[in-house]
Amino acid sequence: MTDGGAPPEDAGVDYAGRAADILGFSRWWQIVAAAGMMAAVSPYQYVWSSIEQPLAESLDLALPALGAVFSFYVVFQSLSQFPAGKWRDSRGPGALTFLAALLAGGGYIGLAYATTLWQLYLLYSLGAIGVGIVYTVAVNTAVKWFPDRTGLTTGVGTMAFAGGSALVVPYVRANATVAAYSDVLRNVGIGILVVTLVGAYLLRDPPDDWLGLEDRDDDGDDEGIAASLRGRAYTTREMLSTWQFWLLYAMFVAMAGADLIVIANVVRFAEQFGLAAVVATAAATLLPVAAGVSRMILGEASDRFDRKRVMAASFVLAGVFRLALIGAGRAEAGVAFVALVMAAMFFSSPLFVYFPSVIADYYGSRNSSGNYAVLYTAKVGGGIFAGTVTGYLVATAGWVPTFALGGGLAIAAGLAALLLRPPSGSGLEADAATAPD
């Protein structure tokens, strides 16, 4: 096994055949169901920049007051994943995803009838909990059913989370007026509710011993077991005792901040430079497309090549393109601005593929939902940066330094990735010397 990468696909285990015996159909249908749910709940993150203006006008609120709504979303979406992940690891996804459908669908429907700021906070936060449940269930469905193709299948699910909203953004922006937005929000909410209810019915987990190769509790070296089934099955407490986890956590904070600052502010950033409204619309529409496609492409690359090197190169390029985006804005080059938004998101967005894959590589698949959920709390730091802190930085320093800081964070995370290696004592150590835990 390469350091931080994935093993060869042919690990001597018929993963597809064993899954089909359990399910009665191809395991890929589990990924289809998970991806559909991810696409359905994606408007909470990717459509916010398009609905905040009509919401502010309708409720007679200043835009800065709504900045905290997105921060609340990130906090609740992130923190809900740990209890949801622990529940799912022990009891399966069924009842949990049914609850998520009610929260996520009901939250958006409720926004159509909100009349005060506290109602917006409450409804978006409840919806965010539903999004968090869907997210951790969908990502770890890939980890549990595809130990041989973790990067690719995680990429498909998270691609849907990013790309699914591309179908919604044009509809929302075309009707993002005070008169029409209530109908828009209600219709989107109904769509979320229906799709996630279907997903709740279809999803299930494999039994722990479905491969006859349960995660080991010793330091043996069973050749041919895929990365997410090799080595020790770390508990969350054991994972927290390794330095690798804390480096991954710092990298996640940096990349989530760099990622979300673009997602939450791309429309206002384009308007700041005086770019045409069509440029802002194109950037907001194509951003999730680039983010989604990249998760599948670079997720597959991380399965085939050394995962940590793919991750390092990806994050550094994400930072470079963010810095270039500032130049395009200053030059009022609309086409270049849209292209650079897409490039910046193409290389940063796979963070949501790399990190769950590395967690499974290093710490095993048995507790993957709970373990990744702990790492995912790092998104809270990124969300606070993208929402509240960004608002302060823009007011005091301006847009250019704020976006430049996001580029610097991405480059730093990419360089830090080169330090990663499997935890010593896991049974996964590379031949190179490892740092002590």
Q: What is the pLDDT of residues 55-97, one digit of tens each?
A: 777 777 776 677 778 778 878 888 888 888 888 877 888 888 9
Domain ranges (residues) in the chain:
15-417
Closest CA to 387 of 85, 116, 78: 78
d(CA 309, CA 4): 8
What is the DSSP code (8-state) at residue 25?
Answer: S
Cα–Cα separations (whole angstroms), residue 35 to 24, 191, 294, 409: 20, 14, 15, 29
Residues in Cβ contact with 40 at an 8 Å cutoff, skipping those fewer than 6 apart = 104, 134, 164, 191, 192, 195, 196, 199
Q: Is 222 in contact with 230 (CB distance < 8 Å)?
A: yes
Of residues 127 and 427, the one with the higher pLDDT is: 127
d(CA 435, CA 421): 8
Q: Quick count: other Cβ atoms within 10 Å of Cβ 91?
A: 11
pLDDT at 150 over 60: yes
pTM exceeding the 0.85 threshold for the entire prediction:
no
Percentage of the chain with pLDDT > 70? 83
What Rg value do the Cα atoms of the chain yield, rounded?
21
Per-residue confidence (pLDDT) for residue 223, from 0 to 100? 35
Per-residue confidence (pLDDT) for residue 102, from 0 to 100? 94
Query: What pLDDT digit, counting tens, does each position of 211-228 carry?
Result: 664 444 444 443 333 443
3-state helix, strand, coil in the chain (%, to 5): 75, 0, 25
**Tokens of residue 11, six digits:** 């690990």
Residue listed under structure tokens 């992130």: 78
Q: Is 236 in contact with 366 (CB distance < 8 Å)?
A: no
pLDDT-based confidence at 184, cuts 50/70/90?
Answer: confident
Closest CA to 206 of 151, 148, 145: 145
Per-residue confidence (pLDDT) for residue 13, from 0 to 100? 67
pLDDT at 413 over 90: yes
Phi and psi angles of residue 299, each rounded to the nearest 5 degrees, phi first: -65, -45
- Out of 133-137, 163-167, 277-281, the most confident range is 133-137
Of residues 254 and 427, the one with the higher pLDDT is: 254
Q: Report the topology of domain 15-417.
A: Growth Hormone; Chain: A; (1.20.1250)
pLDDT at 47 over 90: no
pLDDT at 436 over 70: no
d(CA 54, CA 182): 10
pLDDT at 291 over 90: no
Per-residue confidence (pLDDT) for residue 425, from 0 to 100? 60
Residues in Cβ contact with 34 at an 8 Å cutoff, skipping those fewer than 6 apart = 137, 138, 139, 141, 142, 157, 160, 199, 203
